[in-house]
Homo-oligomer: A and B are copies of this chain.
């Protein structure tokens, strides 16, 4: 019995120094623990110490499996990308496929905005899930009749919109409250008020839908063959 079963009364059985018989850590486990930590404590709670703690390990042990906290973020990003629903591109009309994809994409990253600054600049090389998504989306655009040269720019434009909208989705309801300066911004203040009976009704979802429709219509016009 080299593996003493952790007695319920004594969860504190500390590992002694040295390599354990069975590896405790790997990248998948680190990724899963990071995701759970983020969902429970947010990105402020994601520290190397907290991550190590949740894995029952000393912080320095993490560095045998990842080179930095940034790499942890990259692992999380890849995992999230695999959850984006791009299935519509093989079954639905292009417009609906884009809409489904965009909503799924925004929904996921709205709760992970701190990753966006990382993703937007992260080379796609060695990011298999991200590449799989791009491949499926590209295929959908081809099938819909887009000229090859228009596809990447169109995807980039859509992604930019999705990322921006993900930030938006976290804005507080009173973000457009002009407060003491309402008098000097009459048109804006009135436009904000026109949105609903309750003041400060932030239109994040409405805006997302409107802009997405505009993009779909505008980009869709680039197709050379119908459907």
CB-based contact A177/B125 at 8 Å? yes
In chain A, positions 187-215 with a C-beta closer than 8 Å to chain B are 187-188, 190-192, 194-195, 203-204, 206-208, 210-211, 213-215
Measured in the bound complex, the distance between the Cα atoms of B216 and A178 in whole Å is 26
Which of A18-26, A75-83, A167-175 sits within the interface? A167-175
User: Is A88's beta carbon under 8 Å from chain B?
Assistant: no
Copies of this protein chain in the complex:
2
Rounded to whole angstroms, the CA-CA distance of A41 and B142 in the bound complex is 43
A153 touches B210 (CB 8 A): yes
A49 at interface, CB cutoff 8 A = no
Measured in the bound complex, the distance between the Cα atoms of B117 and A121 in whole Å is 15
Please state if A123 and B195 are interface contacts (CB–CB under 8 Å): no
Residue of B nearest to A133 (CB): B188
Q: Does A92 contact B (CB under 8 A)?
A: no
| Interface 1/0 per residue, A149-190 and B, CB below 8 Å | 111111011111111110110111011111111001111101
Determine if A93 is an interface residue (Cβ-Cβ < 8 Å): no
| A contacts, CB < 8 Å to B | 113-114, 116-117, 120-126, 128, 131-132, 134-135, 138-139, 141-142, 148-154, 156-165, 167-168, 170-172, 174-181, 184-188, 190-192, 194-195, 203-204, 206-208, 210-211, 213-219, 221-222
7 tightest Cβ-Cβ pairs between the two chains A and B: A214-B218, A157-B211, A160-B164, A164-B164, A120-B167, A156-B207, A125-B179
